[in-house]
């Protein structure tokens, strides 16, 4: 009431009335209050950070994270630091687990994958939101839902992390204006900034929610795909490393150093211990006790411990029984035994090095150099033969198993497809060249990579002969023989094993070359090869197993067995003598020449004739051969010479390839679908109801 009185009085007062009459006074610009010259808020202390699409945040913040870890351990960490401790803990935990599994695995590839797995997982966690959430949001709305900022205390935080704590003043009016334009906010909307902010917030919240929903399936998918993509290059890398490691082992310094490291005094100590049991400890000197069989047995087991026990154990016992059993232990005998122990210790350590080399390079183990070579060859050959996705599908038939129905590779179908492929390839020079090149490259690689085997053979010869000589000097002739001399000695066995492994792979490649070449020659009508020879030749080469070779393909040949036909067949395939214009196609010769493999192939052809020819080598006579062999070829050699049947080889390769394709199709498809959902969802984000028109709320 008082206010009204005052107002009334003011209205009536002369001063006020005078003022009201003055148009200038009333012309005071009341809007002056609403202009922008008053105290404005200071700029914020924080700042927006530019984002990248590289997962570098962790690396960049390592210093802060390290401090957070220390403060956390002391109990002084704040909430933000505790969050970082959690991140560090996650990575450290995964690293620890990977390190543990790393030590549990034996092969380099498996070890590498143990590390790659968690790294891929962490990378997927970082990459997925960037490519599937952030990029589409930026593209569709111009909003970065993963925008980061540095607060007034220097801490880096996601801008939209807490929808209730968003430092909007880090976005200037100019930027918000542009954001509003991008989001389609009408320019004349009152409180445009608030509306734009709300839209941005909504896009961010919805995008982050989408991230949470999709991260679960996406991260393992992406992890698996990264690992799958990385497997090949990683395998290549480790293969190179393994090969290098193996070759380095045979360098003199490394060989000696490694042998030194492997050297153990166990044998010498134990020998001395046994000898010690024959010494009178009170008086000194040896006791008058004969060396019994049991003691001899102990000594022989000591001298041939580990892998050598099956080869040498019996021989040592034989020699020692002859030389020492029943005789008393004396200084001479003790020294002899010690010398033998020294010799075998030295031999063991060097043998250990060569064993390591063999395992790395030639062993029948996963990820040996030669095993990797085989895998690469099969993949290269399959690709060069032009197998398509549809081809793979056709080669699988449904089989009703005991437990479930499954699709398996049909070898018959593979053989038929192979024929078709060969026949297609040989008609096209380019395709033929491509297929041949894939095989010759592999063969060339084998030749180059295993050149070092001569070094291996040299070391085998040296250490075995040296050990043999030393043992002979001690009177252990049988053992010496078993180690260093003769066709069945350890020396021969080691050398043969190594050569067989390499030759087997070489022969396999040569068989592939031979098969393709034969198909090409058969296709050349000018060569006038008889039809039946062509048919039989193709079948023997593409499908011929060692069993067939041993019976000279009696099943394939017409009955009764036609020797002349067999000769003609073998000549058509492998030729006669060293130089035979019919033994290979011109283009094949040219390609082999270019790869410096002509001699290798010729040698193969000659070996095929020699090892499978003659009456001595099979149930039937009259196989063409060039010269008498000095001795019979063992079955193993024949097996290795023959190589694996091409259709069988391709069947295995097809199975692996198809599995890989199915995997990629399934998981890749899922990944793409998920990505599509994430991108399409963006078009539905950011819908905000426009502000209601001002309403009468007075009651």
> How many Å apart are CA 144 and CA 133, to the nearest integer?
9
Q: Does 19 bind other proteins (CB under 8 A)?
A: yes
Does residue number 698 form part of the binding site for other proteins (CB under 8 A)? yes
- Integer angstrom CA distances of residue 134 from 127, 143, 146, 163, 175: 10, 8, 6, 17, 19
573-602 residues near other proteins, rule: CB under 8 A: none
C-beta contacts of 669-674 below 8 A and 24+ residues apart:
670/217, 670/221, 671/218, 671/221, 671/222, 671/225, 674/132, 674/214, 674/217, 674/218, 674/221
Segment lying near other proteins (by CB under 8 A), choices 18-26, 256-264, 516-524, 666-674: 18-26
- The angle formed by the CA atoms of residues 245, 246 and 250, to the nearest 5 degrees, is 110
Helix (H) or strand (E) holding 408: strand 405-409
Nearest residue to 661 (alpha-carbon basis) of 389, 390, 408: 389
Alpha carbons 281 and 600: distance in angstroms, whole number:
67
Report how far residue 596's alpha carbon sits from residue 601's, in angstroms, rounded to the nearest whole number: 10
Beta strand pairing call for 156-158 and 148-150: antiparallel
Interaction between residue 402 and other proteins (CB under 8 A) = no
- Please pick, from the candidates 41, 216, 233, 581, the single residue that binds other proteins as defined by CB under 8 A: 41
Kindly tell me which of 172 and 622 has the beta carbon lying closer to other proteins: 172
Shortest distance (Å) from residue 22 CB to other proteins = 7
CB of 5 to other proteins, least distance (A): 6
Closer CB to other proteins, residue 40 or residue 283?
Answer: 40
Q: H helices of 129-251, where?
A: 135-141, 173-182, 192-249
Q: Minimum Å distance from CB 665 to other proteins?
A: 47
CB of 223 to other proteins, least distance (A): 35
Binding mask 148-177 for other proteins (x = CB under 8 A): -x-xx-----------xxxxxx---x----
Long-range contacts of 629-636 (CB under 8 A, 24+ apart): 636/500
**Contact of 541 with 514, CB cutoff 8 Å:** yes
- Contacts of 669 by beta carbon, 8 Å cutoff, 6+ apart: none
Give the nearest distance from C-beta 231 to other proteins in angstroms. 45
Nearer to other proteins, 191 or 666 (CB): 191
6 scored as a contact of other proteins (CB under 8 A): yes
| H runs (alpha helix) in 22-169 | 23-26, 57-60, 62-74, 79-104, 108-128, 135-141
Size of the site for other proteins (CB under 8 A): 63
- End-to-end Cα, the chain, rounded Å: 23
Q: What are phi and psi of 513, to 5 degrees?
A: -65, -45
- Contact with other proteins (CB under 8 A): which of 2, 310, 400, 628? 2
Q: Which stretch binds other proteins (CB under 8 A): 25-33, 239-247, 385-393, 606-614?
A: 25-33
Please identify which residue in 50, 63, 190, 216 interacts with other proteins, judged by CB under 8 A. Answer: 190
Output 487 or 697, the one with its CB closest to other proteins: 697
Q: 163 or 669, CB closer to other proteins?
A: 163
**Least distance between other proteins and beta carbon 152 (Å):** 6
| Smaller CB separation from other proteins, 47 or 236 | 47
- Write the binding mask 97 to 136 for other proteins: x where contact by CB under 8 A, - elsewhere: ----------------------------------------
Of 177, 174, 140, 175, the residue nearest 159 (C-alpha): 175
The nearer residue to other proteins, 177 or 346, going by C-beta atoms, is: 177
Rounded to a whole number of angstroms, the minimum distance from the CB of residue 668 to other proteins is 42
Report d(CA 429, CA 98) in Å as an integer. 50
Interface residue with other proteins among 24, 79, 430, 627 (CB under 8 A) is 24
Stretch binding other proteins (CB under 8 A), from 1-9, 58-66, 313-321, 563-571: 1-9
* Strand 405-409 relative to strand 396-400, pairing: antiparallel
Query: Which residue from 121, 128, 195, 238 is in contact with other proteins, where contact means CB under 8 A?
Result: 195
Nearest approach in angstroms of CB 683 to other proteins is 22
8 Å CB contact between 336 and 303: no
SS3 614: coil
CA distance 164 to 160: 9
CA distances for 431 relative to 130, 296, 391, 425, angstroms: 43, 67, 17, 5
For the record, the structure tokens of 403 come out as 């437990």
We find the least distance from the C-beta atom of residue 132 to other proteins, in angstroms, to be 28
Chosen residue from 22, 74, 294, 405 binding other proteins by CB under 8 A: 22
Asked if 194 touches other proteins (CB under 8 A), the answer is yes
Can you list the pairs that 526-535 forms with residues at least 24 positions away whose Cβ atoms lie under 8 Å?
A: 527/582, 529/572, 530/568, 532/558, 532/565, 533/565, 533/568, 533/569, 533/572
DSSP 668: I
Q: Nearest-CA neighbor of 267 among 202, 366, 367, 340?
A: 340
The residue (of 26 and 240) whose beta carbon lies closer to other proteins is 26
Closer residue to other proteins (CB): 28 or 332: 28
Q: Residue 24 or residue 631: which is nearer to other proteins going by CB?
A: 24
**Site track for other proteins across 69-98, x = CB under 8 A:** -------x----------------------
| CB contact set of 274 (below 8 Å; sequence gap of 6+) | 295, 298, 299, 302
Q: Of the candidates 148, 192, 416, 461, which one interacts with other proteins according to CB under 8 A?
A: 192
Member of 40, 559, 630, 687 binding other proteins (CB under 8 A): 40
CB of 83 to other proteins, least distance (A): 16
Which residue from 17, 45, 53, 596 is in contact with other proteins, where contact means CB under 8 A?
45
Q: Which residue bears the tokens 């009459």?
A: 21
CB of 689 to other proteins, least distance (A): 6
| Smallest separation, CB 695 to other proteins (Å) | 6
Q: In terms of CB distance, is 45 or 244 closer to other proteins?
A: 45
- Provide the mask over 661-690, with x wherever binding to other proteins is found by CB under 8 A and - wherever it is not: ---------------------------xxx
Which one of 37-45, 330-338, 427-435, 442-450 is the stretch in contact with other proteins (CB under 8 A)? 37-45
Shortest CB 69 distance to other proteins, Å: 19
Identify the H or E element spanning 464: helix 453-473
Q: How far is the CB of 125 from other proteins (least distance, A)?
A: 26
The answer to whether 1 contacts other proteins (rule: CB under 8 A) is yes
Angstrom CA distances, 90 to 119, 121, 506, stand at 12, 11, 49
CB under 8 A: which stretch of 10-18, 506-514, 532-540, 573-581 binds other proteins? Answer: 10-18
Q: Per CB under 8 A, does 252 bind other proteins?
A: no
How many Cβ atoms sit within 10 Å of the Cβ of residue 505? 24
**Applying CB under 8 A, which residues contact other proteins?**
1-3, 5-6, 9-10, 13, 15-16, 18-19, 22, 24-30, 32-42, 44-46, 76, 149, 151-152, 164-169, 173, 190-195, 198, 688-692, 694-699
């Amino acid at each position: 009431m008082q206010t009204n009185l005052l107002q009334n009085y003011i209205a009536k007062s002369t001063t006020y009335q005078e003022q009201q009459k003055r148009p200038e006074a009333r012309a005071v610009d009341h809007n002056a209050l609403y202009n922008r010259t008053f105290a404005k808020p200071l700029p914020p202390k924080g700042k927006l950070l530019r984002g990248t699409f590289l997962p570098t945040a962790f690396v960049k913040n390592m210093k802060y994270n390290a401090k957070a870890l220390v403060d956390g351990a002391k109990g002084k960490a704040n909430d933000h630091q505790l969050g970082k401790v959690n991140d560090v803990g996650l990575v450290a935990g995964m690293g620890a687990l990977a390190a543990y599994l790393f030590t549990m695995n034996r092969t380099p590839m498996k070890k590498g994958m143990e590390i790659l797995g968690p790294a891929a997982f962490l990378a997927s966690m970082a990459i997925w939101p960037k490519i599937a959430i952030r990029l589409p949001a930026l593209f569709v709305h111009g909003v970065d839902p993963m925008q980061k900022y540095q607060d007034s205390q220097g801490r880096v935080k996601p801008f939209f992390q807490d929808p209730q704590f968003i430092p909007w003043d880090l976005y200037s009016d100019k930027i918000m204006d542009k954001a509003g334009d991008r989001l389609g906010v009408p320019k004349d909307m009152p409180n445009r900034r608030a509306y734009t902010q709300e839209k941005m917030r909504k896009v961010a919240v919805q995008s982050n929610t989408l991230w949470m929903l999709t991260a679960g399936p996406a991260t393992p998918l992406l992890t698996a795909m990264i690992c799958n993509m990385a497997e090949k290059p990683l395998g290549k890398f480790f293969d190179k490393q393994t090969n290098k490691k193996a070759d380095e082992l045979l360098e003199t310094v490394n060989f000696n150093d490694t042998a030194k490291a492997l050297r153990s005094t166990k044998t010498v100590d134990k020998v001395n211990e046994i000898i010690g049991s024959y010494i009178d400890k009170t008086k000194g000197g040896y006791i008058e006790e004969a060396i019994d069989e049991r003691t001899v047995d102990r000594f022989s087991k000591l001298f041939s411990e580990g892998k050598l026990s099956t080869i040498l154990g019996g021989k040592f016992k034989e020699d020692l029984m002859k030389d020492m059993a029943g005789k008393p232990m004396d200084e001479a005998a003790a020294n002899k035994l010690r010398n033998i122990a020294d010799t075998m210790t030295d031999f063991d350590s060097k043998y250990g090095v060569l064993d390591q080399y063999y395992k790395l390079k030639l062993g029948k183990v996963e990820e040996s150099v030669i095993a990797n070579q085989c895998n690469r060859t099969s993949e290269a050959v399959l690709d060069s033969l032009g197998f398509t996705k549809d081809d793979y599908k056709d080669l699988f038939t449904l089989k009703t198993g005991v437990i479930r129905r499954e699709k398996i590779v049909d070898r018959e179908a593979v053989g038929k497809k192979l024929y078709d492929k060969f026949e297609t390839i040989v008609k096209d020079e380019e395709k033929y060249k491509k297929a041949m090149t894939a095989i010759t490259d592999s063969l060339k690689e084998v030749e180059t990579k295993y050149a070092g085997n001569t070094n291996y053979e040299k070391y085998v010869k040296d250490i075995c002969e040296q050990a043999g000589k030393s043992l002979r000097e001690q009177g252990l002739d049988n053992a010496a023989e078993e180690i260093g001399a003769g066709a069945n000695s350890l020396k021969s066995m080691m050398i043969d094993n190594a050569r067989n492994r390499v030759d087997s792979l070489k022969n396999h490649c040569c068989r592939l070359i031979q098969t393709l070449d034969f198909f090409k020659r058969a296709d050349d009508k000018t060569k006038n090869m008889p039809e039946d020879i062509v048919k039989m030749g193709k079948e023997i080469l593409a499908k011929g197993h060692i069993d067939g070779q041993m019976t000279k393909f009696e099943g394939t040949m017409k009955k009764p067995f036609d020797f002349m036909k067999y000769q003609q067949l073998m000549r058509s395939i492998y030729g006669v003598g060293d130089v035979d214009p019919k033994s290979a196609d011109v283009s094949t010769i040219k390609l082999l020449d270019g790869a410096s493999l002509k001699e290798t192939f010729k040698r193969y052809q000659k070996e095929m004739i020699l090892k499978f020819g003659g009456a001595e080598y099979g149930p039937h006579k009259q196989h063409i051969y060039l010269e008498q062999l000095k001795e019979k070829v063992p079955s193993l050699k024949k097996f290795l010479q023959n190589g694996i049947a091409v259709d069988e080889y391709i069947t295995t390769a097809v199975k692996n390839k198809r599995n890989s394709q199915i995997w990629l199709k399934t998981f890749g498809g899922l990944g793409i679908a998920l990505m599509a959902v994430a991108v399409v969802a963006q078009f539905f984000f950011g819908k905000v109801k426009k502000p209601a028109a001002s309403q009468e709320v007075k009651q």
